[in-house]
Structure 1
Amino acid sequence: MAKSKDTELEASTPDAVMSASLGTILIVEDDPRMQKVLRRIFTEERYTVAVAGDGQTALDLFRSERPLAVVLDLILPQFSGRELCQMFKSMSSETPVIVLSAITEVVDKVLLLELGADDYVTKPFSPRELTARVQAAIRRQKKTTSLETYRFADCEIDFKKMTARRGGNPVVLTAHEFKLLKFFTEHSERVMTREVLLNEVWGYNFYPTTRTVDNQILKLRQKLEPDPADPKHLLTIYGAGYKFVP
């Protein structure tokens, strides 16, 4: 691809950094000075950087480079940032889009989030905050993808298809048991109080009884633990709550 003042795929990154690249970040920004700043920020974090200065180039690079995430300005030639955000999400809904703009009105932020943007950072910005926001969005996307199928011990759980197997044999879980188990796998090794589980999994604002949690975990143990009376994965932490250990 020929380079112009409006587009550049990072080619000057040292070989040592490129060999350890964490993936590609697509920068959509028409200001050459800001392009250089953003390229440097993400190159130093060991990402390969693709830069587009207009909407059509951004779409072409999005298709060809399949970036881990997009950092998107709102005011651009050809297409607006809002239009591009919708286009990116229609092509790949799981790719995080982080809007980077000088527009600070709350209504604009809300609109972008409604159009599918994963986060919104206002100019002027802290490089540390921007990279943290982008990396957090990438982690959330990877976690969601990886958790479609989850394996521990002799259990295999497909959260997307809502199927479970233990030792190769089908196990019937209710929809709510899948929901509780997914929450545990997303927070493995962390102690969860009954109140947190009720609020996050059941969505109760006023808790009828914490025995609700105990009974649900007992049923999961009976279905997934080799010895429900001596669990190895769904552990009781006395005086605190429960912890999932893969």
Structure 2
Amino acid sequence: MEREVRILIVEDDMIIAANISLQLGNLGYEVTGIVTRGEEAILHVRENPPDILLLDINLKGSLNGIETAKAIQTFKDIPVIFLTANTDEATFASAKKTRPKAFITKPFNKLNLQRTVELVADQIWVQEHPVRHSFLDLEVLGDRIFIRYNGKMEKVLLDDILYMEADRNYCTVVTENGNFVLSCTLKTMQERLPNSSFMRVHRSYVVNLSKLDVIADDHLEINRKAIPLSKANRDFLFKRIQAI
């Protein structure tokens, strides 16, 4: 199970901050704190560093959001998402120098917040789970597969596979411990694995049925990753789930 992404909210409007905190909590993120001043944010990051900084550009006090981001970056590299009511070019150019991961323009809605934070959280996950490339064959044996990597066959338990994603003539196998990019199509990979556990839910995705967290009409979720569910596969999936 993946650990929760930890987020520090730096916002001097407490009504907005409380609303953001509630929404992030409902989405499964851990809010490490809400602070209203840049100086407090710097101290908080030193003592309890989060994974993401959700940082208002127009903070009151001696440090605005951009200056706060610069000060934090002198001692800690943390992805920044700026909150701003200003859309002028000068503010954007100044904030851009701190290399933020994203901007959220006020007023924003729940979906905008959810998608922006999810994109940044996904980048963090990728950094923590480096992709390993394999351009040779693989062997399937009972409850595991062996992928040739760095001159040796590396074991991957089928139960550790979350899902597989197509990328033209390649296939990315996403596991709980890392990713493998294989030089075979998703169709070929699907044919090699037991259909009792794995199912194609979209032209670009095969999922491990035992890893499903959410099933909606048009998508699935595994470890907070949204996976599209095609209409052609939806009814069959529901039948499979009922049978299980």
* Pair 1:37 & 2:19 matched: yes
Using the TM superposition, give the Cα deviation of residue 150 of structure 1 relative to its aligned residue in structure 2, in angstroms: 6.7
Question: For each residue in 1:49-70, what CA deviation from the matched residue of structure 2 results, as whole angstroms up to 9, or x when unmatched?
Answer: 2101111111121122221211
Bigger share in strand: 2
Number of the residue aligned with 1:74: 57
Distance 2:67 2:110 in 1: 26
Distance 1:189 1:21 in 2: 22
* Pair 1:166 & 2:156 matched: no
Using the TM superposition, give the Cα deviation of residue 109 of structure 1 relative to its aligned residue in structure 2, in angstroms: 2.2
Question: For each residue in 1:61-108, what CA deviation from the matched residue of structure 2 results, as whole angstroms up to 9, or x when unmatched?
Answer: 112222121110012223121112223333332x32100010111342
Structure 1 residues not aligned, in runs of 5+: 1-19, 157-163, 169-187, 198-231
In the TM superposition, what are the counterparts of 1:1-246 in structure 2 within 5 Å? 22-49=4-31, 50-76=33-59, 77-93=61-77, 95-147=78-130, 153-156=146-149, 164-167=150-153, 189-192=165-168, 233-235=182-184
- Residues 1:21 and 1:34: Cα distance change in structure 2 (over 3 Å): farther
8 Å CA contact 2:5–2:121 kept in 1: the answer is: no
Using the TM superposition, give the Cα deviation of residue 155 of structure 1 relative to its aligned residue in structure 2, in angstroms: 4.1
- Residues 1:154 and 1:125: Cα distance change in structure 2 (over 3 Å): same
For normalisation by structure 1, the TM-score amounts to 0.54
8 Å CA contact 1:89–1:116 kept in 2: the answer is: no
Bigger share in helix: 1
Q: Secondary structure at the residue paired with 1:25?
A: strand
For normalisation by structure 2, the TM-score amounts to 0.55
What is the number of equivalent residue pairs in this alignment? 158
Distance 2:185 2:58 in 1: 53
Q: Secondary structure at the residue paired with 1:104?
A: coil
Q: Secondary structure at the residue paired with 1:130?
A: helix
Question: For each residue in 1:149-197, what CA deviation from the matched residue of structure 2 results, as whole angstroms up to 9, or x when unmatched?
Answer: 67893544xxxxxxx44359xxxxxxxxxxxxxxxxxxx631327xxx9
8 Å CA contact 2:39–2:68 kept in 1: the answer is: no
Larger radius of gyration: 1
Q: Percent identity?
A: 21
